[in-house]
Amino acid sequence: MKPLIIICSDHAEFYLILSHILTVDGFESALATNADEMLELAGQLSVQALLLDCRPDNQMADSCARLRQDDRTSTLPVIALIAPGAESQHIVLLKSGIDESFIRPLAPAKLLDYLRSRLGAERRSRLQLQSAISLSHGDIEMQIDTHHVRCSGREIELGPIEFKLLRHMLEHPGKVLSREELIGAAWPSNVYVGPRTVDVHISRLRRSIKQSPHHDVIRTVRLGGYALESPTI
């Protein structure tokens, strides 16, 4: 099956050109004109990546933020193709969680190289997870493939960042994890994240698991970072 890429654009000519480039290189494409259509397609089809046609007259950062918050698209690579005159959107896109951005005009090979590299890495990661799709620590249980987390048998809701932070902690129980390591585990490499942002998301994670009898399992290590403690009775 060819990897399916959703292109979000309301310019038919741009979509046809980009779709042709992707098809020649072995991809399939589908057209969406807004975030709602992208989410609907992602719920129906096996989508591998999302491309946003960023122009001066649209606000694709808002769409990216919605994609990052929805379970159907929160883990998919989101790439912005920024048209001349829309360069001012770059910073806002980074803050909204974009994975990669390209200023147009660009050589198609750059986009194709990125897609092949990123999707290849995603495939290797999925294969590695096939033998370990769940994690647990005390009364905290995480189902990696379905993005479900339970505390004391009750389902809890986590945002994409909090899910990644908790997953990394569950994979390294007892280890003191620096803020730099947690940033690398939970945020895209091209997004600047400060230590204070990590603290904010750890605080949200703590609030989410507060229903657990062992809800203080996340220990703050002064000048070190955070560690997932062994549960106590």
Q: Of 76, 104, 129, which one is at a domain's C-terminal end?
A: 129
Output the pLDDT for position 49.
94
Radius of gyration of the chain (CA): 19
Are residues 154 and 107 located together in one domain of the fold?
no
Output the pLDDT for position 132.
57
Output the pLDDT for position 154.
85
pTM of the model: 0.55
What are the start-end ranges of the E strands in 18-167? 28-32, 47-54, 78-82, 100-103, 134-137, 140-143, 148-151, 154-156
Output the pLDDT for position 147.
85
Instruction: Say how far apart CA 199 and CA 156 lie, in whole Å.
Output: 20
Instruction: Say how far apart CA 26 and CA 8 lie, in whole Å.
Output: 19
Are residues 152 and 58 located together in one domain of the fold?
no
Output the pLDDT for position 23.
93
Task: Report which of 185, 46, 41, 49 is spatially closest to residue 116, judged by C-alpha positions.
Answer: 49
Does residue 233 lie in a domain region? no
Q: Of 129, 146, 172, which one is at a domain's C-terminal end?
A: 129
What secondary structure letter does DSSP report for 153? T
Number of H helices, E strands in the chain: 8, 11
Are residues 88 and 170 located together in one domain of the fold?
no
Q: Of 129, 153, 178, which one is at a domain's C-terminal end?
A: 129
pLDDT one digit per residue (tens) for the chain, 233 residues = 788 999 999 999 999 999 999 999 999 999 999 999 999 999 999 999 999 999 998 889 899 999 998 989 998 999 999 999 988 888 888 888 899 999 998 899 999 999 988 887 666 655 555 545 788 888 888 888 788 898 887 888 899 999 999 999 999 988 999 999 999 999 988 788 898 999 999 999 988 887 555 557 888 998 889 998 865 43
Does residue 224 lie in a domain region? yes
Q: Can you give the CATH number for the domain in which 14 is found? A: 3.40.50.2300
